[in-house]
A and B are shown apart, each in its own frame.
Chain A
Amino acid sequence: MAQNPLAVPTVLEESEIQRLLLSGYASLPYGQIFLFTIHDSARFSDWLEQHSLDLSYGGPTAAHEHSRLNLAFTYAALELLGLPSTTLEQFPLEFQQGPLSPRRLRILGDTGSSSPSEWHWGGPDDPEVHLTLLLYAKDLTILEKREKELSFHTSGLKLIQKSPAHLDPEHKDHFGFKDGIVQPQLRERSPRGPAENILPSGEFILGYHNAREEYPASPSVQDRQDPDHNLPEHRATPGAKDFGCNGSFLVYRQLKQNVTEFWDFLENKAAELPEKEKDATWLAAKMVGRWPSGAPLTLSPDQDDPNQLEGPNDYFSYAEKDPDGLRCPFASHVRRSNPRDALYPNAALSTQFTRLHRIIRRGRPYTLGEEKGLNFLCFNADIANQFEFIQHDWMNNPKFADVLYDESDPISGYQDPKHPELTHNFSIPGKPLRTRVSGLPRFVDVRGSAYFFMPSRKALHFLISLQNRKTPQSAW
């Protein structure tokens, strides 16, 4: 990369980046997530061109302040829209294959009660997922109005599912715990808070340096394939155009929460605990690693204390405060999904390492009929090393942190359907003696899963131009 003439960017090109990447839209509590199949790509392109001004990007924008719209495509969609094969093949394997490959189902734990046969969408017999539209609004009326204005009947799209994504007033999930607290801060975008939580943007957005101080892999387009000069120069491959720049990979998993089962189980287990003061909420907090208010167990080990919640940047150290997991168990959800400085005995190396495996979370709860759950959404520049790594090597790993034997993440880990004893335990370290809970069922089941690419403004125009040119791909 020494001969690269382009300087490494130090500021985000926000107006190029879809806004959802930069903001969780906390001021727009109502949301709707649409999943579509593209059945007529020419009509879809026209529709997209008409509505391209409706999309929300970063930076100051006046239009639609009371609502926001973003979109992302699956690999199948990019193929359908005519992205050159030389570009397509550069996408990472996991994005090409999607969540249905047998290996991916295995490592993500989409087996047993979470196998694709149980999914509402995205399964092998369901219509192919191509597009997700994410619409957010200040209130329900605006949400409905915007949905009508989008006039899907002329779009060449066929709706697969529409799921509400409304924020709870207290930002709680269906288990009753405050969610969405910790988010990585982007180095190239006036970051706040402790240094450990400030990450180079390239961990999440293509076209910027990542935590290894290099560009994440970004699919390129040859110069002649972009006659209208829609795309920017490729920052890592001089002479080529960059399709990925200012884009990101979006993981969407519809996670059903078995709320009644969760609390029934905890009530029963708490009743068996020797210490009477330890109730179901205590047990649940040990599993999450935070109290219902969001206060971290690491800072407030004995009871819920909302004052311990320091806002979006409470970035405490496990190694210093809780090396043995006496406050926040190793196996708890937050310690597993971001072990911070306590994955290895060496805190500095540990921090350095966990920084390579962070995600930006944009999930919101849903209720669909009887079903309650989390529309889990997250952004990353490298699905295999970030989302999949967290799910597989941390949450589903019964040997997590080299200290556990037979337990997966009690909230979002998988349970081995054939040999439950290998995963269905939960140990709470204690002095002198640990407490052990066994027989955990899956409290969270997958009901749909897809990997998307969220393009930049320029990449989106390039995609539209592909259809407008109507050039057969073989002509390139």
Chain B
Amino acid sequence: MGKEQQEGLVILTPILPNQEDSLRRLLEKIDLELTTSKLIPFEKIPCVHFLRWSILPASESLHRSTRYPAQLLFSSSFDGPAESYLKSLIELASDTLLEIYAHGNGPSRSDELVSYLLAHRHRQNIFYQGHPGLPVAQILADDHLRKTIGQCCDHLAPEDRNDPLKIRQRIETCLEENPELTHSFPETIRRHREPYRIWHLILLTLTAPFWLCPALLVLILWLAFIRTSEWQDDETQYRKMDPVEFDPSLISIKKQTHTLARREDLISQNQFTHVVEIKPGVVRQITLHTILLAVNFVGQISWARKALLGISTLHFVKWVIIDKGRRLLFISNYDGSAIKYVSDFVDRSRSIPLALTAIWSNTVGFPDTRFLIFRGAAHQPSLLDFLRRYQVPAQVWFSAYPHISSSNILNSADFREGLQQPLTPDEILTWLKTL
């Protein structure tokens, strides 16, 4: 089993004027044939976890005299490295990929596609993984392993069912009878995460006396600025300039929700693609960059098993600053319905709403916020409205394991890990809960 890191790619390419409709038709056709596709044989792409194409339609800026042209978004999460992933994708479907990118300024030869795509790659400001360290093949193998062993246990003799040691023995026999199951066992058992450059933290702590005072001063000035700007935002500009004028009964959002929801809940996973303008001004830019950096950092180090701060229904989440710092893109793959998803963010954890507010309060149309992190996302209905309002459909969306949830993935990996090491009777009892 490979030891590649999970990677993410976000690629934005232009769409030629008048080509948007034909591109949409092509993408929708690909999506219709997702499981039987001859255009792109998704099932054969190695290493892919999730993949999507989404057309970001042209739109007017709300506070600048700019117009954002239509663009094609390709986003994927896979087992790295990016270049070899793209190569294998192109090998399997070069004609279709050329056809897709011919709607923009794509190359005419397939051997130029990789460099074309990489040239349009965007840095992911936040890349959160719900089950890091687990390659696709491992995820599928763990699921199969747990199922097969489960079936063995269903046939246990009644007198053996009450003895953890006998159960363990029976399971080991079952493993011997199905040797192919162990082929998928990785060499290292535990999925340790690299300590995130621990010496950075040490250095920071040691030098604290030197930067703490100036930092506090900056912090106070900055909070004062943010608060003033929030205070002005409440009353002014953006909403009134919004073509979908702010209406208390949210009828326009209802319609948008209706259109989007038609493509949701087809399987037990869903996707979100969301693009919104960043508020103008240097301070907002710096703030947003800093927050994204901090959240990414915290997200990585605090990734304790089964709990991104309490949420276990996420597979991959990305935030990407696009359009030369003018818009913020949000991409995610999650389990369950959209209502439940947003509730999970807001009602299930106390820290997540703060982080979301810190990020999105720097964008236009976000619910009223206090001091960067308060209110805002803490109110589920307003957050849902904000997300729905700036959500765009994904014309193509593929999942390599549509029927396995993020918590299933983690639990099955726990089960396999328990099988890979000797356990005491007490540990066996705990381990059997994962079956």
Q: Which residues of A contact B (CB under 8 A)?
A: 89-90, 92-93, 97, 102-103, 106-107, 212, 217, 237, 274-275, 324, 344-346, 349, 352-353, 356, 384-385, 389, 392-393, 397-399, 402-403, 405-406, 422, 429, 431-434, 436
A93-B254, A393-B337, A432-B429 known; 14 new pairs, CB 8 Å cut-off, are A89-B251, A90-B249, A349-B347, A349-B350, A353-B347, A353-B348, A389-B339, A397-B268, A402-B312, A402-B313, A406-B403, A422-B403, A429-B433, A432-B163
> A397, B310: Cβ atoms under 8 Å?
no
* B190 CB–A CB distance under 8 Å: no
> A385, B257: Cβ atoms under 8 Å?
no
Contact A433 to B432, CB < 8 A, known contacts A217-B249, A274-B156, A397-B268:
yes
Alpha-carbon separation in the docked complex, A284 to B349 (Å): 35
Give chain B interface residues in 78-114, CB to chain A under 8 Å: none
> A345, B428: Cβ atoms under 8 Å?
no
> B337, A352: Cβ atoms under 8 Å?
no
CB-CB < 8 A to A433: which residues of B? Answer: 153, 156, 161, 167, 432, 435
Contact of B339 among A90, A274, A384 (CB under 8 A): A384
Whole-angstrom distance between the Cβ of B315 and the nearest chain A Cβ: 12
> A434, B435: Cβ atoms under 8 Å?
yes
Give chain B interface residues in 340-376, CB to chain A under 8 Å: 340, 343, 347-350
Contact of B154 among A90, A212, A237, A436 (CB under 8 A): A436
> B156, A393: Cβ atoms under 8 Å?
no
> A399, B408: Cβ atoms under 8 Å?
yes
Alpha-carbon separation in the docked complex, A399 to B405 (Å): 7
Contact A399 to B435, CB < 8 A, known contacts A353-B348, A432-B162, A436-B150:
no
* B248 CB–A CB distance under 8 Å: yes
- The segment out of B7-15, B66-74, B180-188, B258-266 that lies at the interface is B258-266
Whole-angstrom distance between the Cβ of B147 and the nearest chain A Cβ: 8
Alpha-carbon separation in the docked complex, A90 to B313 (Å): 32
> A393, B340: Cβ atoms under 8 Å?
yes
* B158 CB–A CB distance under 8 Å: yes
* B335 CB–A CB distance under 8 Å: yes
CB-CB < 8 A to A432: which residues of B? Answer: 161-164, 167, 428-429, 432
CB-CB < 8 A to A434: which residues of B? Answer: 432, 435
Alpha-carbon separation in the docked complex, A403 to B264 (Å): 22
Contact A107 to B428, CB < 8 A, known contacts A349-B348, A432-B164:
no
CB-CB < 8 A to A217: which residues of B? Answer: 249
Alpha-carbon separation in the docked complex, A410 to B257 (Å): 31
> B265, A385: Cβ atoms under 8 Å?
no
CB-CB < 8 A to A393: which residues of B? Answer: 336-337, 339-340
CB-CB < 8 A to A431: which residues of B? Answer: 429
Whole-angstrom distance between the Cβ of A97 and the nearest chain B Cβ: 8
Smallest CB gap from A436: residue in B: B154
Smallest CB gap from B264: residue in A: A103
Alpha-carbon separation in the docked complex, A422 to B269 (Å): 13
Whole-angstrom distance between the Cβ of B257 and the nearest chain A Cβ: 7
Alpha-carbon separation in the docked complex, A237 to B264 (Å): 32
Of the A-B pairs whose beta carbons lie under 8 Å apart in the complex, a sample of 27, sorted by A's number, is A90-B251, A102-B262, A106-B265, A106-B266, A107-B265, A274-B158, A275-B158, A275-B161, A345-B310, A349-B348, A353-B343, A384-B339, A389-B339, A393-B336, A393-B339, A399-B407, A402-B313, A402-B405, A403-B411, A405-B405, A422-B403, A432-B161, A432-B164, A433-B153, A433-B156, A433-B161, A433-B432
> A399, B336: Cβ atoms under 8 Å?
yes
Contact A89 to B249, CB < 8 A, known contacts A324-B433, A356-B347:
yes
Alpha-carbon separation in the docked complex, A163 to B307 (Å): 49
CB-CB < 8 A to B265: which residues of A? Answer: 103, 106-107, 392
Whole-angstrom distance between the Cβ of B174 and the nearest chain A Cβ: 13
Alpha-carbon separation in the docked complex, A397 to B163 (Å): 32
Alpha-carbon separation in the docked complex, A61 to B337 (Å): 44
CB-CB < 8 A to A352: which residues of B? Answer: 347
CB-CB < 8 A to B258: which residues of A? Answer: 93, 97
> A389, B340: Cβ atoms under 8 Å?
yes
Alpha-carbon separation in the docked complex, A346 to B336 (Å): 20
> A392, B337: Cβ atoms under 8 Å?
yes
Q: Map CB proximity to A onto B381-405 as digits: 1 under 8 Å, 0 otherwise.
A: 1000000000000000000000101
Alpha-carbon separation in the docked complex, A249 to B262 (Å): 23
Give chain B interface residues in 5-49, CB to chain A under 8 Å: none
* B157 CB–A CB distance under 8 Å: yes
Alpha-carbon separation in the docked complex, A67 to B295 (Å): 62
CB-CB < 8 A to A402: which residues of B? Answer: 312-313, 405, 407
> B339, A405: Cβ atoms under 8 Å?
no
Smallest CB gap from A350: residue in B: B348
* Ranked 7 nearest A-B pairs via Cβ: A274-B158, A402-B407, A399-B405, A90-B249, A353-B347, A432-B164, A393-B340
* B240 CB–A CB distance under 8 Å: no
* B193 CB–A CB distance under 8 Å: no
> A103, B262: Cβ atoms under 8 Å?
yes
Alpha-carbon separation in the docked complex, A346 to B348 (Å): 8
* B379 CB–A CB distance under 8 Å: yes
Alpha-carbon separation in the docked complex, A329 to B189 (Å): 31
Whole-angstrom distance between the Cβ of B131 and the nearest chain A Cβ: 13
Alpha-carbon separation in the docked complex, A407 to B270 (Å): 19
CB-CB < 8 A to B429: which residues of A? Answer: 431-432
Smallest CB gap from A344: residue in B: B348
Alpha-carbon separation in the docked complex, A106 to B268 (Å): 12
Alpha-carbon separation in the docked complex, A274 to B161 (Å): 9
Give chain B interface residues in 296-332, CB to chain A under 8 Å: 307, 310, 312-313
- Select the residue from A89, A93, A97 with max chain B CB neighbours within 10 A: A93
Q: Map CB proximity to A onto B138-168 as digits: 1 under 8 Å, 0 otherwise.
A: 0000000000001001101110011110010
Alpha-carbon separation in the docked complex, A433 to B347 (Å): 33
> A212, B158: Cβ atoms under 8 Å?
no
Q: Map CB proximity to A onto B420-432 as digits: 1 under 8 Å, 0 otherwise.
A: 0000000011001
Alpha-carbon separation in the docked complex, A76 to B272 (Å): 33
Alpha-carbon separation in the docked complex, A353 to B408 (Å): 22
> B161, A349: Cβ atoms under 8 Å?
no
Smallest CB gap from B408: residue in A: A405
Smallest CB gap from B170: residue in A: A433
Alpha-carbon separation in the docked complex, A385 to B162 (Å): 42
Alpha-carbon separation in the docked complex, A89 to B313 (Å): 34
CB-CB < 8 A to B380: which residues of A? Answer: 212
Alpha-carbon separation in the docked complex, A103 to B265 (Å): 8
CB-CB < 8 A to B157: which residues of A? Answer: 274
Alpha-carbon separation in the docked complex, A436 to B164 (Å): 17
Alpha-carbon separation in the docked complex, A288 to B348 (Å): 27
Smallest CB gap from A425: residue in B: B150
CB-CB < 8 A to B254: which residues of A? Answer: 92-93
CB-CB < 8 A to B268: which residues of A? Answer: 397-399
- Select the residue from A346, A399, A434 with max chain B CB neighbours within 10 A: A399
Alpha-carbon separation in the docked complex, A90 to B247 (Å): 11
> B347, A103: Cβ atoms under 8 Å?
no
Alpha-carbon separation in the docked complex, A10 to B429 (Å): 51
CB-CB < 8 A to A385: which residues of B? Answer: 339
CB-CB < 8 A to B158: which residues of A? Answer: 274-275
Alpha-carbon separation in the docked complex, A353 to B349 (Å): 10
CB-CB < 8 A to B312: which residues of A? Answer: 402
Alpha-carbon separation in the docked complex, A217 to B411 (Å): 40
Contact A237 to B248, CB < 8 A, known contacts A93-B257, A103-B261, A212-B379:
yes
